[in-house]
Amino acid sequence: MDRNYGIGVFDSGVGGLTVASEINKLLPKEKIYYFGDTAHVPYGDKTPGQVYKYVKDIIEFLKTQKIKALVMACNTSSAIVLPRLNGEVKGIPTLGVIEFASRQALETTRNGKIGVVANPLTVSTGAYPENIKHLSLNGTRVFQQGCPRWVPLIEAGRVTGKDVEEVVAEDLKPLIESDIDTLIMGCTHYPFMMPTISKVMNHGIRVINPASALSLKLRDILEMSDLLSAEENPRHRFFVSGDPDSFRKVGETFYQKPIGKVEKVIL
């Protein structure tokens, strides 16, 4: 495998740009090929069978772009599809976000009560409680909350304002009342809500965004395989299944740098 191959990153929409941004900061010489499945966002109201088909199609497309690693920057995909891939896509190391968020939360919690906000489908899989139970030996309790209204707001670029605060406060209330001291962002879209989350949440609650830990693991994998790129000014590419213009407008704000051309792909 060529060390100058790219890193494939995908999500249901703009949310995975939080992960792509962290990868870019840590590994600035790596090419990133990002796919946002904006024609099907959000995944939270889809069936597991639909999500599996979408993800398989995206993976097949990204493989045609010559990638050396694949990052599922999507909690729903990580919960439903990743376990069936056994950590690899035909020789390409594949990372998901759930394990990294679970480990970080266990290292962070002081009272053993961890909250998870995610879309209803991710919640229904039980992936976070299962991962945390598997990793924990001390009876940590996990409280989940489905937040189906968050992704549509974020995809529309609405992350602050009184109406958004009311939605976030209503969804966080059961978790706060459960006395959690650690909150997992169980969807890569949700870090975009941090200004509002911080405003309505108890400031003693620590928030877990797995993007940083995942990026460090990716670097370790590439380094051990002698696949770290030394390319200067690598070209990133952005693909969507929906409207390129709307993705660019919202995405550049969240990626924290210009995205440039966005290519539409029909899978």
Q: Which active-site residues does the annotation give?
A: 74, 187
State the number of CA atoms in the 13 A half-sphere of 161 facing the CB. Answer: 7
Angle between helix 211-224 and helix 98-108 axes, rounded to 10 deg: 120
Could you give the C-alpha distances from 209 to 116, 214, 227, 230, 250, in angstroms and in order? Answer: 11, 10, 26, 28, 20
Q: Give the DSSP H or E segment for 239.
A: strand 237-240
CA angle 226, 215, 66 (to 5 degrees): 55
Give the residue carrying structure tokens 């304002």: 161
3 residue type, one letter = R
Q: Which residues pair with 144 in a beta bridge?
A: 116
